[in-house]
Amino acid sequence: SAAAERRAAYAAGAAALDPGAPDQVALGDFSVEWGRAAVDEVWAARPDALVCANDLIAIGALQRLQQLGVDVPGEVAVTGFDDIPMAALSAPGITTVRQPVTELAAEAARLLGRRLAGGEEGSPRQAIRLTPELVVRESSVARPAGTAGGTVPAPGGAASLLAD
């Protein structure tokens, strides 16, 4: 599933950046409500970042962090996935991964057209992968070198708020 692929990619990326960092994963659904609840699960460990499986989770996480008085991105960075319009409109704007929707639709139409024309009859399923784009916004602006940011020192690591 896409969620399993995202979780594996997150784990590999986090391990490559800092093999000794604690890895927290909270599993729930793709909703704003889950993002809010997930912060309560992981915030005691004071992660450097919350890597959310989609932008709705990131929006909920950002809302809860703001209720707690947490400085985003000063104390913690928040990232999402999908680049929904609300990600750009939130305060701060959420760093996210934009999927190449136009290219995905064009490729799907091309494959469907070939199948309807009889060119794909009996052929095995194909996995088409297109390159997404990182959209950097205010929720993950880098801290100056050597600073912990905020009033609570962050021990390191990241928490991933994933949907199952």
- Residue 48 CA neighbour count, 13 Å, CB half: 15
- Residue 135 CA neighbour count, 13 Å, CB half: 18
pLDDT of residue 66: 98
pLDDT of residue 22: 67
From the list 86, 82, 110, the residue with the least C-alpha distance to 97 is 82
- Chain-centre distance for alpha carbon 2: 12
Q: How would you write the pLDDT of the chain (164 residues) with one tens digit per residue?
A: 777 777 788 788 888 887 877 677 888 899 999 999 999 999 999 999 999 999 999 999 999 999 999 999 999 999 999 999 999 999 999 999 999 989 989 998 988 888 888 866 666 777 778 899 999 999 998 655 554 433 233 344 556 665 55
Question: Could you tell me the two tokens for 111?
Answer: 């494959």
In the block, residue with structure tokens 């996935």: 81
> In one letter, which amino acid is 55?
D
Contact 55, 80 (CB under 8 A): yes
